[in-house]
């Protein structure tokens, strides 16, 4: 009986879901505008977002789709996940509120495009 109980305990420890650390989110646009306050109703679209929390990687992101390998400066903390690239694209995802902020801008003229998303977890994008 002890052996059977021991086997059950070991099996339950080893049977964790291999994909448990992959998180898929569907993100809907709340607001999109330019830094001068001008609204833009079709500059971005609702999109998906996927994280590999075990390896701290962004797997799928708005505006990157299949070229997520270009994503640099990925930082994962308890509170937020941030990533971006050299040309001024920057993402900030709040892990508690599941809000995603996307900013694209050039240092020339301090001109920026800002999109705010609300994300919800889904099984698959």
Give 68-99 pLDDT, tens digit per residue: 555 678 899 999 999 887 677 889 999 999 99
Is pLDDT larger for residue 123 or for residue 69? 123
Burial string for 76-106 (b: 16+ CB within 10 Å, else e) reads beeebbebbeeeebebebeeeeebbbbbbbe
What is the domain partition of the chain in residue ranges?
A: 19-122
Quick check: 1 pLDDT over 70? no
> What is the structure's pLDDT at 36?
83
Instruction: Determine the pLDDT at residue 71.
Output: 65
Percent of all residues in the chain with a pLDDT value above 90, rounded to a whole number: 34
Q: Looking at the predicted structure, is the pLDDT value of residue 62 above 60?
A: yes
Largest CA distance in the chain: 74
């Amino acid at each position: 009986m002890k052996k059977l109980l021991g086997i059950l305990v070991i099996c339950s420890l080893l049977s964790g879901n291999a994909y448990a650390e992959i998180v898929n989110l569907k993100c809907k646009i709340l607001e999109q505008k330019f830094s001068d306050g001008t609204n833009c109703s079709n500059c971005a679209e609702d999109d998906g977002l996927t994280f590999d929390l075990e390896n701290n990687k962004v797997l799928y992101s708005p505006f990157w789709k299949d070229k997520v390998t270009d994503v640099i400066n990925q930082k994962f903390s308890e509170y937020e996940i941030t990533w971006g690239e050299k040309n001024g694209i920057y993402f900030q995802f709040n892990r508690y509120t599941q809000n995603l902020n996307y900013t694209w801008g050039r240092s020339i003229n301090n001109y920026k495009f800002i999109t705010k998303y609300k994300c919800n977890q889904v099984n698959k994008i």
